[in-house]
Each structure stands twice: as structure tokens, then as C-alpha cells.
Chains A and B, each alone.
Chain A
Amino acid sequence: MDPIALHYDVSGTDFTCAGEASGKIKKALKELGFPTSITRNVAIAVYEGEINMVIHGGGGVIDAEITPECISITLTDQGPGIPDVSLAMQEGYSTAPDNVRQLGFGAGMGLPNIKKYTDEMVIETEVGKGTTIKLKVFVK
């Protein structure tokens, strides 16, 4: 099969809609017949990324490329960038404001969770320019 490409815009202001794109990607993978563990891992990773995009990145875009062997996701924002990626990857480290914590996020688990549920994770970030996170989940 030819790779299937999906594209979603993520609002940077509407927290209630955060997760729309992740849900649609999950639904698409389910309909394509991928196993539950794969659809769930992709959904969780993309959802954490989408939440980060809304909290920190001022919104952005999510692109998915799906083949029978691999699901590749690219999350791109034009936000403030991540000054210290290794610090951001530590469980419990968070720069999220208090109002985000009241919404159930900002525990410093976002990036560690993304890594946990994916086979490959590459972060390209530049302070003042934005962040791109590239993820791969292989279908074994």
C-alpha cells in the first residue's frame, strides 16, 4: 500500500479541543486494522505531544505518515523552543504554569511518556524559533 498521509492543525488557545487530532489519528489507525497496542501507543504519544503544543507551543501542526510497517508522526510548533532538552526529558521536570496543572497536566511526564510509547523520538528545537518532534512506532 502507498503511505497514507494525514495532516491536522492544532489550536494554541483552545485547551478543550486538545486531543482532537490524536483521537482522529487513533481512529484512522483502528480503521486500518492496526493492533490495539500499536494504536494505543501512538495515540498516547501524539496526545502528550498535542497537549504540549497547546500548553507551550502556541499550537502547531501534526503530520502522520502510515505504512504497514511503521507509523511516523511529526509535531511542529513555532513556540519558544526548549532551552535544555535533557532536563525536559527528566520525569517530573515541568515549566507548565499553575493553571495547566489544575487541568491535570504539567506533571513533567509529557516528554518521558512520549519516549516510553514510541520506538524512535527525535527532538529538534531552537529557542525563540520552535520545536519539532519526530516519532516512529514500528509495527512488529
Chain B
Amino acid sequence: MKISEIKNILEADLICGEEFLSNEIFTACGSDMMSDVLAYVKEQAMLLSGLVNPQVVRTAEMMDMKCIVFVRGKQPDADIIELAKERDIVLLRTQFEMFTSCGLLYKNGLKGGCGR
């Protein structure tokens, strides 16, 4: 699924990374616990989180994740956005809650995975 489709499905605002909207995402992981995310390795994965701090971007960086969606309308500050820009990571913001966001993406064909 292209990041642009994810943006449409979640009715999300683009915060940064417009040039990467045509990149493909294969799987997604939704969590506010970064250590749980770090246990989850998949190719071309994206992260949905209600947590807003620089460690969300750094976690995505270590995992080679291409896109982060902040749920429940959470807005990252300028430092977080800068960190994402430097790492070529797309940031999106949706008003949907975590459960609804994950459900919408899953229903539209994006798969998750188990962490093992």
C-alpha cells in the first residue's frame, strides 16, 4: 500500500515527507511502547503511535521504518519534525484513535504481524 493511500484512508494531514508519498508499505505496527516496536522487525513497515517524542522517530530510524502516523490528532513539535526530515521519514497525523486507525488500514489490506 502506498503511503498516499494510507494518508487517504486515515484522512490524515501530511506533516513532512511529501516526496516519499509514493513509497510502498507492506506491514504496520501500532504501539505506544517503543520497546515492543523494537521487537517487531518487518521489511518496509510503518508505525502508528499515540506517543509524541523524539524517541518515536529514533525507533523508526533504527527499524528502517518509512512512515509514522500520530493518532488521536497528536502534533509533534518542530524538533521532532526536523529529526524525521533528516531521516527521510514521512510523518502523518490522523484524528482517528489507535484502534480505529489500525482497523481501517487492516480492512483495506495492510497486514500486521507477530513480533516473533
Inter-chain contact total with CB atoms closer than 8 Å:
69
Smallest distance from the beta carbon of A118 to chain B beta carbons, Å?
Answer: 13
Stretch at the interface among A1-9, A43-51, A66-74, A76-84: A43-51
Q: Is A57 part of the binding interface, using a Cβ–Cβ cutoff of 8 Å? A: no
Q: Which residues of B contact A16 (CB under 8 A)?
A: 53-54, 79
Q: Render A16-37 as a binary contact track against B, CB cut-off 8 A, 1 for contact.
A: 1011001100100000000010
Q: Does A12 contact B (CB under 8 A)?
A: no
List the B side residues contacting A113 at CB < 8 Å. Answer: 35, 38-39
Cβ-defined contact, A105 with B34, below 8 A: yes
Whether B58 sits at the interface, judged by CB under 8 Å, is yes
- Interface size class, chain B: 20 to 34
Interface mask (B43-79 → A, CB under 8 Å = 1, otherwise 0): 0000001010111101101111000000000000001
Interface residue tally on A, bucketed by range: 20 to 34
Chain B residues within CB distance 8 Å of chain A: 32-36, 38-39, 41, 49, 51, 53-56, 58-59, 61-64, 79
Binding site for B on A (CB under 8 A): 15-16, 18-19, 22-23, 26, 36, 40, 43-44, 47-48, 51, 103-110, 112-113, 116
